[in-house]
Amino acid sequence: MERSPRCSRHPEDAAAWRCRACGTALCPACTDTSGGRVRCAECGEVAGLLTSPGSEATLDPAEAIAVDVRRGDLRAAAARFAALPATPTTLPARLLLQVAKGAGGEGAPAVAARALRSAARSRDPAIAAEALLGLARLCLDGLRRPAEARAAIDELLARFPESPAATQARALHPPPAG
């Protein structure tokens, strides 16, 4: 008989949630429900509901990817991401950057490019700029697609012209002389 997940701080209590950030299994006493969302009392991040007994397999795909990234298992995060038909809208852009790093390290540049394209849509200018620069580098070196690299650089320079990433992009692929 499979045992229900137990609370990390209160092993005598069943866990109903798992923190998306630190992966801690949580019982009701270990959560903060202020603001209408269940949050980990330890780190304050939103917790995901455990829908059945078990571990990360019970988390939705975005939550499982986040747990993999937080544990430093970028290979597993990239593999989970690659298996999804579309990028989850709930996956934060900063985690998408880590997924791209994991995919690139596993020799999966197309998966890394997909993660970087999604991260480039971030409202956080530093993350979006970093994603566009990473996409340009990947298109130049890993995918051998100079036109896509140029498009990423052009978008980076248009959206974030004064960013450190824009400075690096100019050095990576200077504009044509003329």
Please give the CATH number for the structural domain made up of 60-172.
1.25.40.10
Is the pTM for the entire model greater than 0.95?
no
Q: Are strands 17-19 and 47-49 parallel, antiparallel or unpaired?
A: antiparallel
Cα separation values, 15 from 41, 45, 46, 55, 58, Å:
14, 16, 15, 10, 12
Beta-bridged to residue 40, according to DSSP, are: 31
Residue 39 phi, psi dihedral angles, 5° rounding: -125, 150
Q: Which two tokens stand for residue 167?
A: 């400075």
pLDDT tens, position by position, 76-88: 889 889 988 898 8
Q: Which pLDDT does position 111 carry in this prediction?
A: 95
